Chains A and B, each alone.
Chain A
Amino acid sequence: MKILLIEDEKELAESIVHYLNGSDYRCEVAFDFNSASEKIALYQYDCVLLDISLPGGNGLALLRELKGKNKKEGVIIISAKNSLDDKIEGLEIGADDYLPKPFHLAELGARIKALIRRNNFDGSNILPIGDLILDIENKSVKVFDQKVELTKSEFELLMFLISNKNKVISKDAIGEHLSGDDADRFSDFDFICSRIKNLKKKLAESGSSDYIKTVYGLGYKFEI
Chain B
Amino acid sequence: MRLLNRTILSYLIYSVLVFLIVTPIFYSVISRIFIKEVDETLLLKKNEIQFRTQRIKSEDDLRVWENLDEDIRIEPLTGGLIYDSIYYTSRYDSLSKEIEPYRVLSTVIEIENKSYHLTIFISLLESKDLVRVLSITQAVVLFVLLVGLLFINWRLSKTIWKPFYHTLDELKKFDVEKTGQLRLGEAKVREFKDLNEALKLLSERSYRAFINQKEFTENAAHEMQTPLAVFKSKLELLMQTNPTEEQAKLMESLNESTSRLARLNRALLLLSKIDNRQFIEAESVDVTKLTEKIVDQNQHELAAKGLTIQVDRKSDLIVKFNATLIEVMLSNLISNALRYSTEKGLVKIEIADLQWGISNHGSPLSFPSEKIFERFQKGNTQVSSTGLGLAIVKKIVDTNGSTIHYQYKEQLHSFHVRF
Q: Residues on A close to B: CB < 8 A?
A: 9, 11-12, 15-16, 18-19, 22, 80-85, 100-106, 153, 167-168, 170-173, 176, 178-188, 190-192, 194-195, 215-219
The range of chain B's interface size is 35 or more
A47 to B15, CA, bound (A): 92
Whether A217 touches B388, Cβ cut-off 8 Å, given contacts A16-B233, A170-B239, A186-B335, is: no
Whether A102 touches B225, Cβ cut-off 8 Å, given contacts A183-B266, A185-B335, is: yes
Judge whether A184 and B233 touch: CB under 8 Å. no
A171 to B255, CA, bound (A): 9
A89 to B263, CA, bound (A): 24
Judge whether B304 and A191 touch: CB under 8 Å. yes
Closest B residue to A79 by beta carbon equals B225
The 8 closest A-B pairs by CB, nearest first: A15-B233, A102-B229, A191-B304, A184-B389, A216-B248, A186-B335, A101-B229, A218-B248
**Which residues of A have CB within 8 Å of B267?**
183-184
Judge whether A101 and B263 touch: CB under 8 Å. no
A104 to B237, CA, bound (A): 10
Judge whether A186 and B339 touch: CB under 8 Å. yes
Q: A106-B236, A182-B327 are in contact. List 12 more A-B contacts (CB 8 A).
A: A9-B226, A12-B233, A82-B225, A101-B228, A102-B232, A105-B236, A168-B239, A182-B335, A183-B386, A184-B263, A186-B338, A216-B243
Judge whether A103 and B331 touch: CB under 8 Å. no
Among B29-37, B295-303, B349-357, the stretch in contact with A: B295-303
B312 at the interface (CB under 8 A from A): no
Whether A191 touches B303, Cβ cut-off 8 Å, given contacts A18-B237, A170-B252, A184-B335, is: yes
Judge whether A172 and B248 touch: CB under 8 Å. no
Judge whether B278 and A183 touch: CB under 8 Å. no
CB B381 to nearest CB in A, in angstroms, measures 12
Most chain A beta carbons < 10 A, residue from B228, B229, B236, B249: B236
22 interchain pairs, CB-CB under 8 A: A9-B229, A15-B237, A19-B240, A22-B240, A80-B222, A80-B226, A84-B273, A84-B279, A102-B229, A102-B232, A102-B265, A170-B255, A171-B252, A179-B301, A182-B331, A183-B389, A184-B385, A184-B392, A186-B339, A188-B304, A191-B300, A217-B252
Whether A218 touches B239, Cβ cut-off 8 Å, given contacts A16-B233, A81-B222, A102-B262, is: yes
Judge whether B301 and A105 touch: CB under 8 Å. no
User: B residues 315-372 with Cβ under 8 Å of A?
Assistant: 324, 327-328, 331-332, 335-336, 338-339
User: B residues 76-128 with Cβ under 8 Å of A?
Assistant: none
Q: Residues on B close to A: CB < 8 A?
A: 222, 225-226, 228-234, 236-237, 239-240, 243, 245, 248-249, 251-252, 255-256, 258-259, 262-263, 265-267, 269-270, 273, 278-279, 297-301, 303-304, 324, 327-328, 331-332, 335-336, 338-339, 384-386, 388-389, 392
CB A110 to nearest CB in B, in angstroms, measures 13
A195 to B259, CA, bound (A): 20
Name A153's contact: one of B248, B255, B300 (CB within 8 Å).
Answer: B300
**Which residues of A have CB within 8 Å of B338?**
186
**Which residues of B have CB within 8 Å of A195?**
300
Judge whether B304 and A80 touch: CB under 8 Å. no
Judge whether B252 and A184 touch: CB under 8 Å. no
Judge whether A216 and B245 touch: CB under 8 Å. yes
